[in-house]
Each structure stands twice: as structure tokens, then as C-alpha cells.
Amino acid sequence: MTSTLTWSQLRDLKCAELEGAADGWGRASNRADAGRDGIDKQLMNGLRGTQQGEAVGAAVARLRQLSRNFQYVYTECGLLRTALNSLAHEMRAQQRALQAALGDADALKFRVHADGSVTYPEAGEGLVDGKPLPGGTATGRGLPGLLPSSGLVAPNPHAAKAQDIADRVEKAVRTATEIDWRYTQILRKLKAEEGLKVPDVTWTDTATDAAAVRGAARGYLKDAIPHDASAVERKAWWAGLTQEQREEYLAVYPDQIGNLDGIPAVVRDAANRDNLQLLIGKLEGRDDERAETQLAGLREIDRQLNDNRKPPMFLLGIGDEGNGRAIVSYGNPDTARNVSAYVPGLNTSLDEEFAKGDLKRARDTAIGTIDHDASSAAIVWLGYDAPQSPEGLTSLAVMGDERAERGGRAFNGFMEGLTATNHNENPHLTAIGHSYGSRTVGAATQQGDGIPGVDDIVLVGSPGVGVDHAQDLGVGKGHVFVGAAENDVVTKLPSKQQTLFGAVGLIAGGPPGAYFAGDLADSGDDDLWFGKDPASREFGARRFPVDDGPRLVSGNGISIDAHSQYFDPKRDAVSAKSIALVAAGRSRQIKMEEYR
């Protein structure tokens, strides 16, 4: 790294001009965002609502590409703005350090030369003749503190002060030179290929660009993000930012803002939609199985977000860590009086199956809830690493509590955020756990003061929740609702003290006879793997009726479909309606079923 920067150039640098250029890029970014918004909310919706035929499909596809192009312009211009503002921020700090050193030199009547050396006048007096000691010149020794002291004391009392000033001048210039070089490399890369189309490979480059600007702007923006604060404090932090600051955070840190509990839903949705494109670009550059699996899930979520679905979708979280993260709400959870959050279980990850199946469960719940109360929203929350096959039920991951405990803490943070941002004075919140997700919900109830804001809990397809009585879940046993299909093998897993040969072996792919061995082992007992059977009298919850589901063994072979149809209004209308009634705060309308 070679530099021609001098201290006089650093002194005279007009950081305000850098910030003015940043403002220009910010205006370009905002115009692109407005263009994208107009296409998405006006042109495409208007076209779909008034026209039909193949031509409409073709026109929508072209508009979608144009919207994506505007999104790219919005992102890149936003990165440029933040890079320039961050450059000005860092340079101004070095200017202040330089000006302080120059001020000290001026006060002492020292002379700072163009090369940064400092001349000091004669001072003191000689021990022999009493005459003033001669002055001299101090030259910067590199960054102060890097060179050890010689232990010698210069006879002229000005010498040490001049050396300190020379070192400070050199440090400011050296640091500014490094800053200038670092941002030059970043800014040179923030450019697009010519043309009207933004291909997938360009988004891969954009993901790299965003990572570079994030690293450079750490001191300027990221260090101020209140990760360790409460949801209420985060909400207040966001409300206290200027519009320009919000725009910069959204452009450079969509991953941070989009996944920060306590930030308003519309803001998280905007941030995560941008981060979704960056994640797609990031994973496009990889060829491993995990990346391909997550990429398929991301693309399906992206397709649905652009499909003008009703209720409207809000992307409240997205990420590629672990098995992937995705939080999707149907309906705005900040304005809805009734908000339900569904936690999926075994084998759930960010893949195409999740994007089609689990999202549909939340959407079905939202539609059913809205039928009973229009002010409703339903969420699917994949904010933890659920146990995966081929780990199967024989793995410690699903048999143990660790993932549920970690997931429970994350779920509580998310629900705290919902209570902080909801506009209603007393919203009705419902936590829904399916399969291992019910164990995660159970773990959440045992941490701190329980799940923030939750009024009702629904457990379906549950192997137990970690407690033996509904009253231990913190909402009152009359507000705990259970659905357990007769043919759902997961709801009949034997306890840890009983024989596991069949039920475990069957789910993991073992012979059907083993299931019956496990079933017999549990005969007359209401203990499951994670505690009392939630559908038992001893547990004390309210059990709602569900369809028996397909038999485990039939002429068509082995099926565990009974474990996955609780939310489906076509395959199990009674169960889906019961879940919707609880989510709408109308559980009194449900006709309860006998315990088993």
C-alpha cells in the first residue's frame, strides 16, 4: 500500500462533500425503492385484478423482472451511500486527532513541516554555562507505543513534547491512508455490468459487496444495533433514528434489522425481502447439498411473496444459519388483535417442503382465524434447529431436550417482540406447537416468566411437552388445547422407561411389528417420551376432536400421514377449525372430546 496522502491533505479534506455525495446516492436509492414499490403494489396488482389471459402472465413476468432490477439499484446505491458516509465518519475522526496535535504544536510555538516532522525551539539551561539548550527536530517513529522506550531523557524539555506531536501526526496520516485504501477497494467494486437485466450472478456479486460494506461500516453503524437490549428498547431505538439512518441500516444490514425482535413488522418484512435476494445470491455461488436445499426453499418463499397472496405475507425472519431460519406471517401481526405463532417440529428445515407445506399450515390457520375475526394474523416460526432425519427418532437430538431448550429461548424473544410492536392494547396471542415443536413450546413456558403475552397454547401431534400437567404451562389449564389423532404414532411414543423398539424403529424406517410392540409396552400408561400424554386426563388440558387419520398399516403400506394433517381444512376440517377458533379467541365454541 503506497500513499501520497500528507497531513495537510488530511487537514483540508472536506468530509461534508463526501456526505453530500452519499446523500445523492441515497436519493437514487430511494427513487429505485419507490419505483419497485409502484410496480409491486400498483402495476402488478392492477394488472392481475383487471386483466386475464396469457398476455397478463407475460406482462407480470416482465414487471417482476423490472421490480427486481429496481431492487438491485436500491441495494447497490444504498451500499454506496453507506460506504461514503462511513468513509467520511472515519476520516473525520483522524482529522480531529490531527487537528488536536497541530493545536498543541501551535500553542507551544512548534513548527510542523510538510513531512510531519516537528521543530522545537531552544529551552532550559545548560548545567555548565547556564545557556539555553539548543532546539531540534522530532520525526515520527511510527505508531506511538510500538517502539520501546530507550530510557534516556532528552535535555531540552521541548523534545519529548515535540516527539509526541510528531508521532500523533504520523499516526493520523497512516490511519487515514489505510482508511482511504480500504474504501477505495470497496467503492471500485460497487459497479454494475451494462444492460437492462440483472441476472442471478449479479446478485451473487451484490452479496459480496454488501459483506464488504458491512465490514467497513462496523464502527459507523453496526456497533449501535442494540442486540442485547429488550424488545421494548429495540423498538424505542428504531423509533429514535432519523429517516436517513433507518435507510442506511436497511440497505447495509437487512439481515440484522430483519431478524431483530422488537422492530416493526413492516420494517422487518422490507429488510428480509432484500436480504432474501442477498441470500439467494450468496447460495448461488455454492454447489454443496446444504446450499442447494436451502436455495430451493428460498426461491419458493420468494415466489410466494411475489404471488399477491391473501392474506398478505410478511417475512419476519430469514437466514441460512444451521438448518435455515424462516419466519412468515399471514396478516400483519402488529395490527391484528389475534396473533398465532406455530412452531414446527421433527424434520423441519429451510427447504422446499417447508416453503410449501409449513407455510400452507400457517396460511390455512390464518384464513380459518380470519373467518371468525378479521383482525387476525398467523405465523410459522422456524427460528431454531429442529431435529432432522437421517438422525431419526433414535438420535439424541430428537430424544433429548437441548434443541427444544435453545429454541424455547429464541421463541420467547420473538414473542416478546410481538407484544412490543402490536398496536392493540390487549392483543390475543396463541402459541401452537406441532410434534417436537410442542416440546419447544413447552420449554419456552418454563423459562423466565413463560412465553410473553401468550393467552392460549395449542399442542398437536405431541410426544409430550416436558411437564406433566397443563397448569404448569403458565396460561391456566383451561387455556391449553390438545389435538391427538388416534393413528398418530408420535402421540403414542412410549416413555423413556419403556420399550422403544417399535415406535422408534418404525418412524426411523423399522418393521411395523415393532410399533405394536412399543404400543403394547405403553398399554394402560399415560407417560410419553417427554412427560405425560397431553391428551390424557392426568395432564388436564382441553382435548378437541380430530380425525383419526390414515391407519399406520393398511393395504397401501405404511403411513404416518396422521401426524401431519391437523392444520389441513380438507383432510381434517374439525381439527383445523378448532385451531382457528382458539387462535381467534373463541375456544368456547369448540365441543371438546374425551381424554384417552
Average pLDDT of the residues in 537-560: 88
pLDDT the model gives residue 333: 98
The pLDDT of residue 401 is above 60: yes
> Which neighbouring-strand residues pair with 527?
532
Query: Could you tell me the pLDDT band of residue 461, with boundaries at 50, 70 and 90?
Result: very high
Lowest mean pLDDT of 13-27, 106-120, 548-562, name the range. 548-562
Q: Is 308 left (phi over 0), alpha (psi -120 to 50) or beta?
A: left
DSSP 243-260: HHHHHHHHHH-HHHHHT-
Q: Which of 154-168, 277-291, 398-412, 572-586 has the highest mean pLDDT?
A: 572-586
Task: Give the range among 43-47, 72-76, 280-284, 577-581 with minimum mean pLDDT.
Answer: 43-47
Angle (CA) 507-383-200 rounded to 5° is 100
pLDDT in the model for residue 64:
84
The helix/strand/coil state of 350 is: coil
Residue 130 confidence (pLDDT) above 80 = no
pLDDT of 313-347, one tens digit each?
A: 999 999 999 999 999 999 999 999 999 999 999 88
Provide the CB-side half-sphere exposure for 428 (13 A, CA).
18
pLDDT at 4 over 90: no
pLDDT digits (tens, 9 = 90+) for 229-265: 999 999 999 999 999 899 999 988 999 999 999 999 9
Between CA 119 and CA 161 the distance in angstroms is: 11
User: Residue 94 pLDDT more than 90?
Assistant: yes
- Summarize pLDDT for 272-311 with one digit per residue, the tens: 999 999 999 889 878 899 999 999 999 999 999 988 788 9
Q: At what angle do helices 54-107 and 265-284 cross, to 10 degrees?
A: 100
Q: What is the identity of the amino acid at 211?
A: A
User: Of residues 334 and 52, which shows the higher confidence score?
Assistant: 334
The bridge status of strand 338-343 relative to strand 376-382 is: parallel
Average pLDDT of every residue of the chain: 87
Q: Provide the edge-to-edge strand list for the sheet that holds 136-138.
A: 111-112, 118-120, 136-138
Residue 393 pLDDT exceeds 70: no
